[in-house]
Amino acid sequence: MSCLIVQSDKTLLLEVDHELADACRRAIAPFAELERAPEHIHTYRVTPLGLWNARAAGHDAEQVVDALVQYSRYPVPHALLVDVAETMDRYGRLRLAKDPAHGLVLTTTDRPVLEEVLRSKRIQPLVGARIDEDTVSVHPSERGQIKQVLLKLGWPAEDYAGYVDGEAHPIDLRQEDWQLRPYQQQAVENFWHGGSGVVVLPCGAGKTLVGAGAMAEAKATTLILVTNTVSARQWKHELVRRTSLTEDEVGEYSGTKKEIRPVTIATYQVLTTKRKGIYPHLELFDSRDWGLIVYDEVHLLPAPVFKFTADLQARRRLGLTATLVREDGRESDVFSLIGPKRFDAPWKEIEAQGYIAPADCVEVRVNLTDSERLAYATAEPEEKYRYCATTATKRQVTEALVAKHKGQQTLVIGQYIDQLDELGEHLGAPVIKGETTNAQREKLFDAFRNGEISVLVVSKVANFSIDLPEATVAIQVSGTFGSRQEEAQRLGRVLRPKADGHEARFYSVVARDTIDQDFAAHRQRFLAEQGYAYRIMDASDL
């Protein structure tokens, strides 16, 4: 009896307690995406993107089929094996290359495929003259576009056209009092070897350092795209601390500052600001001869940035993210424009190595009072969530939770500002929200880090990329409806390893029998699938 079951819907079920499970996981990880990782049986999914990722990483169909056949408990459906082989075979039939005479060209090893794609209306405007039967020239500006379209047509092209080196700039890691962790080192190597691509690491696993490592390899001017200003400051802080770069070499390009330095950190927001129908900050991409572009939180990359990225195919690109799951389903754009997945480590594995803290997830169910239930029932549909998420009963339970964990660094996270203000007032804690100035934010974060204040109430501005190493308790009172990826980010707030190694707590306060409960179920399913089993308790048991 082996440990893997291949399902007809192309999911793979892996029994984790099986003695062969570890070997099997290693064999299937290159081509199958881990979809769910609850305690006993992990679910992987075989998708075309996954198979192409595997091809990009140098695996061939035979290895994939072998892995499936070797570890499968039951006979593998023949149709699935054929499908795997056919899908993988599609990758690399077309390749983009640099021709000394004609510049960027699209070549093929299989002429009918080239004929097929050239007949597509969407390809025609992107290509130039036919050079010979197997080769057609491509407008250099359309390198990204054509990769995107080819992927949509099901014939992903391998990009051999190479990269420009960019303007050289010395960058070194200063590993005096710290070391890159083995998996970070591995991620950097895989990325550099592959040229461009995405590194998937859980929150708190040190993605910033992977970025720094990549920059140290590139030794060139670098453009870093991050989600918001706070995150930009943190990047800058980390880079100055961990590398040979100095304050002056790192610039910030945001709503408030417009510095362009050898290493420039820009926010998505400023790039996607539109004035009179144009993106005025777009020239940032051309302002220097960048050798490396780093995309932080790739799964949040806004649509316009994809468009710019399409024009940057000659530069090395590194994507960093905790999850390839995008709520908008644009995973294929990430694949074609930034690159295939180059490194992936499951959350639990890194936790087992002690690099992130274990967490205890608890859902607290709150019974609404009769009058609250009545008000909820009569609320307008669009107001229902807001109402049940911000009831007074929930506030009381939150206060009780904070009291219970008195003395521990506690974050209270919510969606609705008035609720947060009210909570802050009742808890006597400062509130960080959108209107809080960056200076004020940093001041408060510092105070929180130093333990001067032990409770901080934050809105969704704190969802991303702020480093709060000593937060041990997070209490979520409301969220962006059922967003799974927000849940992952918030859990990440408490997953940084603790000085004393004790367990982190992650509470969700949920109003029973309301839409709040449904959303919570959706979000928590994601946690459970990541292996974070949660408990449910009644507020009355607190």
The answer to whether residue 528 forms part of the interface with other proteins (CB under 8 A) is yes
Quickly list DSSP for 467-513.
--TT--EEEE---STT-HHHHHHHHHTT-SPPTT-PPEEEEEEEETT
DSSP state letters, 402-440: HHHTTTS-EEEE-S-HHHHHHHHHHHT--EE-TTS-HHH
Binding mask 105-134 for other proteins (x = CB under 8 A): ------------------------------
Residues 6+ apart with CB under 8 A from 78: none
Span near other proteins by CB under 8 A; candidates 32-40, 144-152, 280-288, 459-467: 32-40
Chain residues 3-22 in contact with other proteins, contact rule CB under 8 A: 5-9, 11, 13, 15
CA distance 141 to 19: 52
Among residues 75 and 407, whose Cβ is nearest to other proteins? Answer: 75
Q: Does residue 534 touch other proteins according to CB under 8 A?
A: yes
Nearer to other proteins, 43 or 398 (CB): 43
> Which residues in 72-91 contact other proteins (CB under 8 A)?
72-78
Closest to 505 measured CA to CA, from 357, 348, 347, 355: 357
What binding mask, one character per residue, do residues 313-352 give for other proteins by CB under 8 A, x or -? ----------------------------------------
Specify the residue, 7 or 438, whose C-beta has the smaller distance to other proteins: 7
Among 132, 177, 370, 382, binds other proteins (CB under 8 A): 370
Q: Does 522 bind other proteins (CB under 8 A)?
A: no
- Give the DSSP H/E element, type plus range, for residue 135: strand 135-138
Residue 46: strand, helix, or coil: strand
Token representation of residue 128: 């130039």
Per the rule left: phi > 0, alpha: psi between -120 and 50, beta: everything else, 329 is: left
Q: Does 403 bind other proteins (CB under 8 A)?
A: no
Shortest approach of other proteins to residue 326 CB, angstroms?
Answer: 21
Spell out the residues 6+ positions from residue 184 whose beta carbon is closer than 8 angstroms to its own: 205, 206, 209, 210, 213
Distance CA 374, CA 376 (A): 5
Minimum CB separation of residue 533 from other proteins in Å reads 4
Choice from 174, 373, 405, 522 touching other proteins (CB under 8 A): 373
C-alpha span between 144 and 120 (Å, rounded) = 17
Any idea which residue has 């991409």 for tokens? 285
Q: Output the smallest distance, CB 6 to other proteins, in A.
A: 6
- Among 145-153, 214-222, 236-244, 524-532, the segment contacting other proteins (CB under 8 A): 524-532
Both tokens of residue 57? Answer: 């990483």
Query: Nearest approach, Cβ of 168 to other proteins (angstroms)?
Result: 49
Q: Applying CB under 8 A, which of residues 329, 535, 540, 541 lies at the interface with other proteins? A: 535
Out of 20, 23, 38, 426, name the contact with other proteins by CB under 8 A.
38
Q: Rounded to whole angstroms, how far apart are CA atoms 269 and 271? A: 5
- Residues 44 and 33: their CA atoms lie apart, in Å, by 5
Residue 62 sits in the site that holds other proteins (CB under 8 A): no
Residue 279 backbone class (left: φ over 0; alpha: ψ -120 to 50; beta: rest): beta
Q: Taking the complex as a whole, how short is the minimal distance between the CB of residue 419 and other proteins, in angstroms?
A: 23
DSSP state of 542: -
Q: Closer to other proteins at the Cβ: 40 or 275?
A: 40
Taking the complex as a whole, how short is the minimal distance between the CB of residue 354 and other proteins, in angstroms?
23
Binding site for other proteins (CB under 8 A): 5-9, 11, 13, 15, 36, 38-41, 43, 72-78, 370, 373-374, 377-378, 513, 525, 528-529, 533-536
